């Protein structure tokens, strides 16, 4: 029961980070393209600096959420493990948001693609890894979500 509860909360954290990153990335796209045309920085430099700049805020929200979650539910998981797990999932969701935002032509397309991608990952068992997933992949033991549940449990 506890594992399923944590699983649902991690999915919500990933969705929140994904949609935040897609929205932010899509709105910054014209500025970044203009600056890259002037050879001010490369795509890799932008991605790394953006991830580093957003990391403290993501970790802060993960820490605040897990502190309240642990206090309100009495989970038996150490707070440091819970916070690290939620922080890892937030960073993974943000990375997925960067990938979706960079591969779509507009903000609307990116926003409309974000949730279906999460749903597809849940259906195949990459995100919501339960034994009753409709389709099981042999690569499931390598997924970031399954690893986070292992760490949290």
Q: 58-72 in b/e burial notation, b at 16+ Cβ within 10 A?
A: bbebbbebbeebbee
Domain holding 128, by residue range, is: 2-152
d(CA 3, CA 49): 34
Give tens-digit pLDDT for 55-81.
888 888 888 888 988 888 888 888 898
The string of pLDDT tens digits covering residues 80-101 is 988 888 888 888 888 888 888 8
Are the C-beta atoms of 97 and 114 separated by less than 8 Å? yes
Report pLDDT for 23.
84
Q: Which secondary-structure segment (H or E) carries 74?
A: none
Residue 112 predicted with pLDDT over 80: yes
When divided into structural domains, the chain yields a total of 1
Q: What is residue 132's predicted lDDT score, i.e. its pLDDT?
A: 53
């Amino acid at each position: 029961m506890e594992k399923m509860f944590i699983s649902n909360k991690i999915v919500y954290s990933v969705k929140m980070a994904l949609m935040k990153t897609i929205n932010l990335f899509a709105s910054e796209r014209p500025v970044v393209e203009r600056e890259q045309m002037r050879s001010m920085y490369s795509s890799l430099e932008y991605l790394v600096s953006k991830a580093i700049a957003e990391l403290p805020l993501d970790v802060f929200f993960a820490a605040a959420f897990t502190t309240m979650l642990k206090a309100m539910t009495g989970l038996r998981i150490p707070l440091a493990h819970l916070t690290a797990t939620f922080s890892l999932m937030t960073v993974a969701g943000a990375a997925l948001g960067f990938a979706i935002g960079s591969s779509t032509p507009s903000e609307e397309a990116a926003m409309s693609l974000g949730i279906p991608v999460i749903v597809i990952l849940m259906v195949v068992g990459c995100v919501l890894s339960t034994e009753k997933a409709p389709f099981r992949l042999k690569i499931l033991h390598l997924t970031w979500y399954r690893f986070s549940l292992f760490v949290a449990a």
